[in-house]
Amino acid sequence: MHAERERAQEAELEKQELADRLEKRQQAKQKAAEAAAASSHKPKPRQEKKPGCAPDDPLCGLPLD
């Protein structure tokens, strides 16, 4: 009977620890989302690619001296 009671207490403790960890994780995720939204760093608009350029060519379309 004692073993069952101890197991039940351990299970309740584990359940509470998991709930606490989940809550902390959600709070951290929300805080990160708020920080990202509040950030003044806005992405630059994409540079218009010239026809005939490879999509992964960063130098395409730049004037050569």
Q: Give the tens place of pLDDT for each residue, 39-60.
A: 666 677 777 766 677 778 887 7
pLDDT at residue 22, rounded to an integer: 96
Q: In the predicted model, what is the mean pLDDT of the chain?
A: 83
Kindly list the domain boundaries of the chain, sorted by start residue: 1-35
Task: State the Rg of the chain over Cα.
Answer: 27
**Could you tell me the pLDDT band of residue 37, with boundaries at 50, 70 and 90?**
confident
pLDDT at residue 23, rounded to an integer: 96
What's the predicted TM-score (pTM) here? 0.49
pLDDT at residue 17, rounded to an integer: 96
- Is residue 34 pLDDT above 90, yes or no? no
Cα atoms in the Cβ-side hemisphere of radius 13 Å centred on 55: 0
